[in-house]
């Protein structure tokens, strides 16, 4: 019979310490996620990788003593996926291609990310102790939303609008806390009504090093699909607008949601009347631009 056994719990023959994680969402979001995934990556030989799921408020975890890098994020996203979780240096958030829209050309685009909240700890020491380690973490929203509004003449000729933006960060490195460039355009929806087009797009902010990159170019595109299935595009360079918003002008770089003003050559965009409008009336539905219909295949000129 063994005597003098330690009261400490074991994890596969490893001694473990108690860690009590509390997540503070005040000022972050009023709508809590379903829960969070927490990954402890060992930085020392005595540590072990711990991968667990907790409630949105946190919870208790048993972790072997050692030094760790840690990431935590909400796992209830619809478009955001995670890859490279084998290592702290490679774990990355991304979005997939826009398959299933039924619009030729959009499969070359990727979805805009939905809200992703992240905690990143580069160096955490967990002692060999009987006492629980209390950790108070405040998640950070790493997805930014940019909203716009423009005047458009000729919406009665438009059945649908497809938007995209290039040059923004389409991926996010959780360990390095930075956005990463994605070559694919980010898709977004836009709505037309009463002579105006409104919409918003999301991204992981600017790519890493973008503020000092001379060749940075951010292109905003709206493709107006007319009632005869022809497409008219407008392309706008919004590099300065985004860079200024991220550098602190007009709200500060920590604001998760921003209104931007598109630098158009004219105050109003004009959609040309289609040469062969269907049905003889040549109009949209009351001047409102709705969802994609069944009027035949539309091919977007996506580069």
Q: Is 286's pLDDT higher than 60?
A: no
The residue ranges of every structural domain in the chain are: 12-77+115-142, 101-114+143-303
Q: What is the pLDDT of residue 24?
A: 98
How far, in Å, CA of 46 to CA of 38, rounded? Answer: 19
Other CB atoms within a 10 A radius of the CB of residue 278 amount to: 14
Q: How far is CA 69 from CA 49, 57, 66, 276, 292, in A?
A: 10, 21, 10, 62, 46
Q: What is the pLDDT of residue 280?
A: 54
Q: Is 287's pLDDT higher than 90?
A: no
The answer to whether residues 49 and 40 touch, using CB atoms and an 8 Å cutoff, is yes
Cα dihedral 171→172→176→181 (10° resolution): 30
Tell me which residue of 81, 166, 89 sits closest to 116, measured CA to CA.
81
Average pLDDT over residues 3-26: 72
Q: In terms of CATH architecture, what is 12-77+115-142?
A: Sandwich (2.60)
Q: 């050309």: which residue's tokens?
A: 105
Q: Are strands 158-166 and 169-173 parallel, antiparallel or unpaired?
A: unpaired
Residues whose CB falls within 8 Å of the CB of residue 146, separated by 6 or more in sequence, listed in order: 200, 201, 202, 203, 242, 245, 257, 258, 259, 260
Q: Please tell me which residue, 251 or 66, carries the higher pLDDT value.
A: 66
Q: Please tell me which residue, 45 or 254, carries the higher pLDDT value.
A: 45
pLDDT category, 291, cuts 50, 70, 90?
Answer: very low
Strand partners, 233: 223
Q: Please tell me which residue, 211 or 71, carries the higher pLDDT value.
A: 71
Q: What is the pLDDT of residue 71?
A: 99
Q: Is the pTM of this model over 0.95?
A: no
Residues 164-185 pLDDT 10s: 999 999 999 999 999 999 889 9
Strand partners, 132: none
Average pLDDT over residues 131-153: 96
Q: What is the pLDDT of residue 182?
A: 87
Q: Is 250's pLDDT higher than 90?
A: no
Other CB atoms within a 10 A radius of the CB of residue 171 amount to: 21
Tell me which residue of 43, 303, 30, 79 sits closest to 184, measured CA to CA.
303
Average pLDDT over all residues of the chain: 86
């Amino acid at each position: 019979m063994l005597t003098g056994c330690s009261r400490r719990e074991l994890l596969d023959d490893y001694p473990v310490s108690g860690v009590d994680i509390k997540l503070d969402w005040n000022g972050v979001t009023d709508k809590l996620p379903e829960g969070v995934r927490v990954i402890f990556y060992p930085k020392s030989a005595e540590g072990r990788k711990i991968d667990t799921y907790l409630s949105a408020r946190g919870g208790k975890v048993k972790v072997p003593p050692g030094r760790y890098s840690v990431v935590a994020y909400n796992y209830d996203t619809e478009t955001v996926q995670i890859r490279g979780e084998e290592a702290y240096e490679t774990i990355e958030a991304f979005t997939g291609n826009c398959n299933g829209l039924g619009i030729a050309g959009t499969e070359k685009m990727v979805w805009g990310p939905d809200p992703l909240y992240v905690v990143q700890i580069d160096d955490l020491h967990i002692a060999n102790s009987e006492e629980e380690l209390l950790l108070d973490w405040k998640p950070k929203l790493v997805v930014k939303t940019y909203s716009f509004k423009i005047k458009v003449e000729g919406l009665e000729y438009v059945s649908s609008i497809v938007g995209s933006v290039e040059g923004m960060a389409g991926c996010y490195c959780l360990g390095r806390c930075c956005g990463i460039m994605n070559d694919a355009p980010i898709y977004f929806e836009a709505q037309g009504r009463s002579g105006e087009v409104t919409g918003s797009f999301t991204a992981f902010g600017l790519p890493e090093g973008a503020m000092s990159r001379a060749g940075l170019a951010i292109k905003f595109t709206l493709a107006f699909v007319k009632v005869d299935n022809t497409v008219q595009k407008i392309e706008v360079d919004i590099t300065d607008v985004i860079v200024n918003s991220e550098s602190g002008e007009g709200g500060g770089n920590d604001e998760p949601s921003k209104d931007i003003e598109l630098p158009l050559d004219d105050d109003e965009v004009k959609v040309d009347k289609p040469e062969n409008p269907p049905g003889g009336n040549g109009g949209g539905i009351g001047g409102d631009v709705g969802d994609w219909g069944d009027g035949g295949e539309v091919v977007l000129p996506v580069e």
